[in-house]
Amino acid sequence: MSAGHALLGLLAEGERHGYDLRRQYLRRFPSAKPLAAAQIYATLDRLLRDGLVVAGATERVGGPDRTVFAVTGPGRAELDRWLSEVEMPSEYVVNLLSMKVTLALLVADQRAAADFLRRQREAHLARMREHTRVKSDPDTDLLRVIAADYAINHLDADLRWIETTLQRVTELAEEIRP
């Protein structure tokens, strides 16, 4: 995920200062990891250097100075290019769960691997319940519902993998340590 493009997108909606961008980021991307203030200013510096945003007036509202940023023509063009670009599914999925199962079978036994998978399933399901609860709350707005849906479906993919691996763990143990 490119923080630069996310900020360009938020600025394309209207000019803002850094503090406001940070708030808007939290509001629009509720499931994303929040951006630290330092990260926002470093990213804005880079966008300024590349001519994708310009710094405008400096506001002072009873606190520190706040510089307002706006998207330039090239900035808008870069944003449009990025938005229409398909994200490539990654070739190498780093699957920590799979690594742990393999190593458990190598250094311990089938029981350890199955036990890990069962406890992992509990943890995944607990997280899935949290997202489901958020989603089922009638006060949750649609933006948060679709964010929860994304998380639920990814957890579900892991859970399906955990279940089939549990069913194959005996066979896998024989393959790894014949």
Alpha helical stretches, state H, the chain: 3-12, 18-28, 37-49, 73-84, 96-107, 110-136, 142-176
Residue pair 101/116 in contact by the 8 Å Cβ criterion: yes
Q: Of the two residues 48 and 125, which places its CB atom closer to another protein in the complex?
A: 125
Q: Of the two residues 20 and 149, which places its CB atom closer to another protein in the complex?
A: 149
Residue pair 52/74 in contact by the 8 Å Cβ criterion: yes
- Position 131 contacts another protein (CB under 8 A): yes
Kindly state the smallest distance separating residue 110's Cβ from another protein, in Å. 10
- Position 44 contacts another protein (CB under 8 A): no
Q: Of the two residues 1 and 142, which places its CB atom closer to another protein in the complex?
A: 142
Report how many residues bind another protein under the rule CB under 8 A.
21
Residues in 138-177 at the binding interface with another protein, rule: CB under 8 A? 152-153, 155-156, 159-160, 163, 167
Residue pair 52/77 in contact by the 8 Å Cβ criterion: no
List the end-to-end C-alpha distance of the chain, in Å, as a whole number: 42
Give the residues lining the site for another protein (CB under 8 A). Answer: 111, 114, 118, 124-126, 128-129, 131-133, 135-136, 152-153, 155-156, 159-160, 163, 167
